A and B are shown apart, each in its own frame.
Chain A
Amino acid sequence: MLTFNTLALACGLYVAALFLIAFMAERRAERGRLGILRSPLVYTLSLSIYCTAWTFYGAVGYAARSGLEFVTIYLGPTLMIVGWWAMLRKLVRIGRTQRITSIADLISSRYGKSTSLGVLVTVLAVVFTTPYIALQLQSVTLSFSVFAESTPDAPGDARATALWVAAGLAVFTILFGTRNLDIDERHHGIVTAIAVEAVVKLVAILAVGVFVVWGVAGGPSEVFRMTEASPIARWQMDQSRWLTLTFLSAVAFVCLPRMFQVLVVENSDERHLATASWAFPLYLFLMSLFVIPIAVVGLAVLPEGSNPDLYVLTVPLAFDQDALAMLVFLGGFSSATSMVIVASIALATMVSNHIVMPIWLSARRGGATVSGDVRNVVLRSRRIAIVGVLALAYLYYAMSGGGAALAAIGLIAFVGVAQILPALLGGIFWRGATRTGAAGGLIAGFAIWAWTLLVPGIGEGALMSQTLLAEGPFGIGWLRPQALFGIGGIDPVVHSALWSLAVNTLLFAGLSLVGLPGAVERLQGAEFVDIFRYSGNARGWSPATVEAEDLLMMSQRILGASEAQALFQAAARGQGKEGYLPDTTSEFLERLERELAGSVGAATAHAMMGQITGGTAVSVEDLMRVADETAQIMEYSSRLEAKSEELGRTARQLREANEKLTALSVQKDAFLSQISHELRTPMTSIRAFSEILRDGGDMAPETRARYSTIIHDEARRLTRLLDDLLDLSVLESGQVTLHRQIAILGDILDHAVAATENADSRLRILRTTGDERLVLHTDTDRLSQVFINLISNAQKYCDAEQPELRIAVRDDPEGPILDFIDNGSGIPKENQSIIFEKFFRVGDTRAAGGAGLGLAICREITARLGGQLSYLPGQGGAAFRVALPPRLRQPAQGAAE
């Protein structure tokens, strides 16, 4: 008979062996000899942490109670991974390109790098994982107790065993789970140890199976016969449970934090997924192949009332197969430990990245200058989180009394974790999914789950009284936890899954449909949903140096290759290191942020650095797209720079020239089209009326006169247009000759006012002649042309009752400034920028007779004279400012006196 001490010793030796394996794997990885560590085999085996002690021991118990239903727990994941191409492949690609560190990170990152969503998912994960870990502790102590019953030297208290196990696991996890802080969050030591444990548990269950089928029953056909004769011979299927459990386990396979960790985060090569797509179902197949035979034999052989959850262990013991029992014990121990290790790493990563780091960052920004290594903070917080999670699980185990209540936790956790599904699926397949939707769905689903399943399930009268279960809170019947809206009689798990997921999905979709996502959210949405369009091939990552190297890569593209390299080299030298890759200390990150802010602006630079310090690793491509245009140009030119500075410049010049030519050609087309229109319109009238006159017929003399006048007017309009066009083309080509002479501004204005004098015009012109005594050296005819144009514009367009034009003159040190301000309704804001374009006219003003070239000509003239013509908004009416170049002081003053 095995003694407790032998068992404890075997356990100790086994754990020591695991330590050794993990240690050696880490060493190999550090030396870059990954080899088998990165094989699809190890990846597939690491997925086996799906099979916890709950399934290792519990499956047989489950089968002994409800027959075939246990198989749904394995069929769900089988369907999920067999269909890897549709979903898991996308998830893994997103995880790799976006450098996702946990499921909370995925949700947070997808919905605009939201801190609150990260916190939410982390809290959820802690809530449903802690009891699950407690369940593992229970199964280990339970298997110990099987042996303890018959041995006198066993410690009396099962809780002590649980405490030792929890402490040992905490040490192991901290040693191998928080040794380093890689940007890819991969733990080779742990993954390798888990792969070994996967083999141990498979071998153990297969050994028991073979023993039972051929050693006890006497062959497969005997087993078949025994099954037919057993209490579970009839397949008592509960259809709704069959469907729901298959679905839930498929979802749990992806959404459980520990599964996400091994499936996505620890994935080193997408192609491993292809192998796992058939190898992992095979593993599950083998794990469950002998479950029914063991259950049938256990039911037949063991005395009434023995715990079916321990058949795997007690059947070999009943036949005095000590070695086999030992193997089974280690198999169960493996199942429990591997689950606890990965689950606590996954939780610790979430807690440190989504709860501790945001708090730490905000505290640091708060003023107290806590300088130090960000990495240390992360590692320390992870270690504390691991201890905290295990302590919580132990407390939970100790307080729940380790009874049968715990066994129900497995399915309860599955329903809880399924609440992440809508946000996850929506996140990777629907661009319209928003943060509000995700948060709303999660919170509602979680609340319903807690109300309908978690609290009634773990309490059994402890947290929720029987009356409350039977009558609802305050006697409100339709709120009864296990019969919402009065729909009772359903299996509690199915009931809870149905309501929580339905409300969750509905809220998620509804809030997403009505809400408006932010910019980062939309960017991330596009990145996640269209991941295969954006990301190139899966990239291999080299460990340890990736972080600084990525920063350098990004900085090179933004700062320029030589500057970035110099900056990094200087920082590395400051830390006493050779080469270009300094440790990413907080000082260095701060300095880098300042440097980057100079190129891409403070906000983007801060976002970049904020993401890195927040632990949500940044992807270079992602940031490149944020700083879209600038970054693209810089990326382009820096690439040219690398080839040849000279070549780059030539290429840029060519490109600019080409762009200019293209723009000119487009402009020319538009201009010709405009001219054609402006010429053809008067010609149409001329032709039409001249044909009418030529046709003769009886026509009143006044009509005839009218039509002749129209022809005459339109002909004049044509001439004016041609004059303007010629004028403009001369001005634009720069061939104009200016006849500069000394003149007084007031005289030029007098001339312009006189030229526009018109009997029809009611415009009153207000001048302050005292200010106008400025001596200019300019082309007086041209300047007067500008003034005439501005005054006649006011005559035509000023729509006030008593139209007035105020001409204000100011002698600025920069040069004289003339403002022409009328009291009309002015020019609408949207037109102010285009009034100087050729052929632009405000409103329907054909009657005014201009071709829309006047202001364009005026602007050209003022530019030729060295000044500037601009529209002056906010003056009540239309206002134009003519800014002239500085006056020559000496002769000006002499002439003025």
Chain B
Amino acid sequence: MIKRVLLIEDEPNIIEAVRYILSRDGWAVDTHADGASAMAAVLRRVPDVIVLDAMLPGRSGFDILRDLRAHADPAIAAIPVLMLTARGQQKDRDMAERSGANRFMTKPFSNAEMLACVQSLLAAPTP
């Protein structure tokens, strides 16, 4: 079965990089750049893992994550999430944890670490 990841990120260059890294590892990568309609994108084609940027136009990543965790369908609410942020302060890390992120990485990241992180999420979805 093909592993599917949904990348929610608005910076085109970062999208391209992440897509390259993950596709090379055999992942099917969907991308979505808008915060407000992110939940719709999740529901359109339910992914195995979500990589979520914290700062998005329309709706913040933290809010999207909270919506996801509160979703009525337990299968969707339990999708593992890797949260990315470019601000990298402790309070962002705390907020990501509170919102229900499984993992958290600060930009810029190492490609290998990012890949390992996404792989680990699929192996052990619980935080």
Tell me, yes or no, whether A and B come into direct contact in the complex with CB atoms closer than 8 A: yes
Chain A residues packing against B (C-beta within 8 Å): 673, 676-677, 680-681, 683-689, 691-692, 695, 697, 710, 714, 843-844, 846-847
For the complex formed, measure the closest distance between the CB of B45 and the CB atoms of chain A, giving whole angstroms. 22
Residues of B close to A695: CB separation below 8 A: 111
Residues of B close to A710: CB separation below 8 A: 13, 16
> Contacts A692-B21, A843-B57, A846-B11 hold; do A687 and B108 have CB atoms under 8 A apart?
yes
> Contacts A676-B86, A691-B111, A843-B57 hold; do A681 and B11 have CB atoms under 8 A apart?
yes
B16 touches A687 (CB 8 A): no
A685 touches B109 (CB 8 A): no
Residues of A close to B21: CB separation below 8 A: 688, 692
For the complex formed, measure the closest distance between the CB of B93 and the CB atoms of chain A, giving whole angstroms. 13
Residues of B close to A714: CB separation below 8 A: 13
One digit per residue, 1 when the CB lies within 8 angstroms of any chain A CB and 0 when it does not, for chain B 3-15 equals 0000000111110
> Contacts A684-B14, A685-B14 hold; do A676 and B87 have CB atoms under 8 A apart?
yes
> Contacts A676-B88, A680-B86 hold; do A686 and B108 have CB atoms under 8 A apart?
yes
Residues of A close to B87: CB separation below 8 A: 673, 676-677, 680
A681 touches B86 (CB 8 A): yes
> Contacts A673-B89, A677-B87, A681-B86 hold; do A847 and B12 have CB atoms under 8 A apart?
yes
- Is B78 an interface position by the 8 A CB rule? no
One digit per residue, 1 when the CB lies within 8 angstroms of any chain A CB and 0 when it does not, for chain B 93-127 equals 00000000000001111111000000000000000
Residues of B close to A687: CB separation below 8 A: 108-110
A681 touches B107 (CB 8 A): yes
- Is B76 an interface position by the 8 A CB rule? no
Residues of A close to B12: CB separation below 8 A: 846-847
Residues of A close to B20: CB separation below 8 A: 692
> Contacts A686-B108, A687-B108 hold; do A692 and B88 have CB atoms under 8 A apart?
no
- Is B43 an interface position by the 8 A CB rule? no
- Is B77 an interface position by the 8 A CB rule? no
Nearest 4 CB-CB pairs, A to B? A688-B17, A685-B13, A680-B86, A684-B108
How distant is the Cα of A844 from the Cα of B11 in the complex, in angstroms? 9
Q: Which residue of B lies closest to A706 (CB)?
A: B16
Q: A692-B111, A844-B57 are in contact. List 13 more A-B contacts (CB 8 A).
A: A680-B88, A680-B106, A681-B86, A681-B107, A684-B14, A684-B86, A685-B11, A685-B13, A687-B110, A688-B108, A688-B111, A843-B57, A844-B10
Residues of A close to B10: CB separation below 8 A: 844, 846
For the complex formed, measure the closest distance between the CB of B104 and the CB atoms of chain A, giving whole angstroms. 14
How distant is the Cα of A823 from the Cα of B110 in the complex, in angstroms? 45
Tell me the dominant secondary structure on chain A's binding face: helix
Most buried by B among A673, A681, A687: A681
Chain B residues packing against A (C-beta within 8 Å): 10-14, 16-18, 20-21, 24, 33-34, 55, 57, 86-89, 106-112
For the complex formed, measure the closest distance between the CB of A305 and the CB atoms of chain B, giving whole angstroms. 81
Residues of B close to A683: CB separation below 8 A: 107-108
Q: Which residue of A lies closest to B57 (CB)?
A: A844
For the complex formed, measure the closest distance between the CB of A406 and the CB atoms of chain B, giving whole angstroms. 68
Q: Which residue of A lies closest to B89 (CB)?
A: A673
For the complex formed, measure the closest distance between the CB of A687 and the CB atoms of chain B, giving whole angstroms. 4
Partner of A685 from the list B17, B24, B34, B88 (CB cut-off 8 Å) is B17
> Contacts A687-B109, A688-B18, A710-B16 hold; do A677 and B11 have CB atoms under 8 A apart?
no
How distant is the Cα of A687 from the Cα of B17 in the complex, in angstroms? 10
Residues of B close to A677: CB separation below 8 A: 55, 86-87
For the complex formed, measure the closest distance between the CB of B126 and the CB atoms of chain A, giving whole angstroms. 28
A684 touches B109 (CB 8 A): yes
A681 touches B14 (CB 8 A): yes
How distant is the Cα of A786 from the Cα of B59 in the complex, in angstroms? 32
For the complex formed, measure the closest distance between the CB of B122 and the CB atoms of chain A, giving whole angstroms. 21
Residues of A close to B86: CB separation below 8 A: 676-677, 680-681, 684
How distant is the Cα of A688 from the Cα of B16 in the complex, in angstroms? 10
How distant is the Cα of A776 from the Cα of B112 in the complex, in angstroms? 59
For the complex formed, measure the closest distance between the CB of A688 and the CB atoms of chain B, giving whole angstroms. 4
How distant is the Cα of A828 from the Cα of B82 in the complex, in angstroms? 34
A680 touches B33 (CB 8 A): no
23 contacts between A and B (CB under 8 A): A673-B87, A673-B89, A676-B86, A676-B87, A680-B108, A681-B14, A684-B14, A684-B107, A684-B108, A684-B109, A685-B13, A685-B14, A686-B108, A687-B108, A688-B14, A688-B18, A691-B110, A692-B17, A710-B13, A844-B33, A846-B11, A846-B12, A847-B12
Q: Which residue of B lies closest to A677 (CB)?
A: B86
Q: Which residue of B lies closest to A694 (CB)?
A: B111
Most buried by B among A684, A714, A844, A846: A684
Residues of B close to A689: CB separation below 8 A: 13, 17
Residues of A close to B57: CB separation below 8 A: 843-844
How distant is the Cα of A697 from the Cα of B21 in the complex, in angstroms? 12
Q: Which residue of B lies closest to A714 (CB)?
A: B13
Residues of B close to A673: CB separation below 8 A: 87, 89
How distant is the Cα of A691 from the Cα of B57 in the complex, in angstroms? 28
How distant is the Cα of A684 from the Cα of B24 in the complex, in angstroms? 19
Residues of A close to B13: CB separation below 8 A: 685, 689, 710, 714
For the complex formed, measure the closest distance between the CB of B19 and the CB atoms of chain A, giving whole angstroms. 11
Q: Which residue of B lies closest to A717 (CB)?
A: B13
Most buried by A among B21, B106, B109, B111: B111
For the complex formed, measure the closest distance between the CB of A251 and the CB atoms of chain B, giving whole angstroms. 48
Q: Which residue of A lies closest to B106 (CB)?
A: A680
How distant is the Cα of A147 from the Cα of B112 in the complex, in angstroms? 115
Residues of A close to B11: CB separation below 8 A: 681, 684-685, 846
For the complex formed, measure the closest distance between the CB of A607 and the CB atoms of chain B, giving whole angstroms. 43
Most buried by A among B14, B33, B55: B14
Residues of B close to A680: CB separation below 8 A: 86-88, 106-108
How distant is the Cα of A681 from the Cα of B55 in the complex, in angstroms? 11
Q: Which residue of B lies closest to A689 (CB)?
A: B17
Residues of B close to A676: CB separation below 8 A: 86-89
For the complex formed, measure the closest distance between the CB of B82 and the CB atoms of chain A, giving whole angstroms. 14
Residues of A close to B111: CB separation below 8 A: 688, 691-692, 695
Residues of B close to A692: CB separation below 8 A: 17, 20-21, 111
How distant is the Cα of A843 from the Cα of B58 in the complex, in angstroms? 9
